[in-house]
Structure 1
Amino acid sequence: MTGMRVKLDDRDIQMLSILQREGRITKTELARRVNLSPTPCWERLQHLEKLGVIQGYGARVDWSMISHQTVVFMQAELASHQAADFRGFEQKVQDQPEVLECWALGGGIDYLLKIIAPSVDDYQRFVDRMLNAEIGLKRYYTYIVTKRVKESSAVPDDLLTELKS
């Protein structure tokens, strides 16, 4: 259902707001906080999951506490801009475990990738693989992350409220 707009009411928005910050909240506590009994709350939650609004649950892990990792942002530009070229690049990116996130961009650069590797040398081996894969990677720019300043995947509550149908 990607691309489809889902209509949300105040209670759905309230549930999403809570869940994106407190993913381990019990269903009973979630129901209490949104002023519903557990069964209707559970049904709403299942509906949001089925629609794909809620894509999953997980822990945010600070990998720097466990091992050394290098985070790199890469701007990528393709040599050709045919639909098949974009599909080929995007498929190759899907197969790369080092790529945490990839966005297609409008403007001068085609893609922005967030990559994690044990070292800069490992990142360079990743780049060499991508260049040798013959997927049309014309040019790339590398930005090594020196410090994480802020990281959040939670949508601000005021923007969630604007989603109300």
Structure 2
Amino acid sequence: MTRLRPDLRLDDRDIAILATLSREGRITKTDLAARVNLSPTPCWERMKRLEKAGLIRGYRAEISLADLGPHVQVFVTVELESHRAESFQIFERTIERMDQIVGCWAIGGGYDYLMQIVAIDVTTFQAMMDGLLESRAGVRRYFSYIVTKPVKEVPPALALLEAKDG
């Protein structure tokens, strides 16, 4: 048994279900059950339990942005002017409303946040950042890193998260 959260116990089949769904969200229930060595009904019940526990938050398509058209993907580190709780809340509320920001993580170390941004081009990206700087979001400074090519993009290896009992 694995305990990732104190209130939730997962066994190897639960981890296998999560790992399979993270790679193949459209797999049929029958194929999923066969992959994790369960009959369909118990597999479905486990899947529903994992959804109810909040471990499965949704099912999505992986879209090829390059095939849709020109775009730029940028990672941005952000340092805020103030480190009061209210400052973090204001920043987070501000960026929540910005569709170009597709990911944002509070981080430890020299910066406060790491953002992932997708824009049509560098000019559009810069206009968005200029707007963020002019807003009351409290950005002191930022550094941008333009993605030149994707090297690796995969779901996390869930087996690595298993806690060893004992």
- Identify whether the pair has TM-score above 0.5, normalized to the shorter chain: yes
Deviation at 1:35, TM superposition (A): 2.1
Corresponding residue for residue 63 of structure 1: 65
Moved over 6 A (4+): none
Deviation at 1:77, TM superposition (A): 0.4
Deviation at 1:10, TM superposition (A): 1.1
Corresponding residue for residue 77 of structure 1: 79
8 Å contact from structure 2 (residues 18, 158) kept in 1: no
Deviation at 1:158, TM superposition (A): 3.5
8 Å contact from structure 1 (residues 75, 142) kept in 2: yes
Distance of 2:46 and 2:23 partners within structure 1? 18
Corresponding residue for residue 147 of structure 1: 149
Percent identity, aligned pairs only, is 48
Question: Is the strand fraction higher in 1 or 2?
Answer: 2
Which residues of 2 match residues 96-111 of structure 1 at below 5 A? 96-111=98-113
Q: Does 1:125 align with 2:118?
A: no
Q: Which runs of 5+ in 2 are unaligned?
A: none
8 Å contact from structure 2 (residues 73, 147) kept in 1: yes
Distance of 1:103 and 1:67 partners within structure 2? 27
8 Å contact from structure 2 (residues 104, 114) kept in 1: yes
Distance of 1:91 and 1:48 partners within structure 2? 29
2:14 to 12, 21, 30: 12
Q: Which runs of 5+ in 1 are unaligned?
A: none
Q: Say which SS state the counterpart of residue 13 (structure 1) adopts.
A: helix
Q: What amino acid does structure 1 have at the position aligned with 2:111?
A: I
2:24 to 22, 25, 32: 22
Q: Say which SS state the counterpart of residue 124 (structure 2) adopts.
A: helix
- Indicate the larger mover: 58-67 or 28-37: 28-37
The alignment's C-alpha RMSD in Å is 1.7
TM-score (norm 2): 0.90
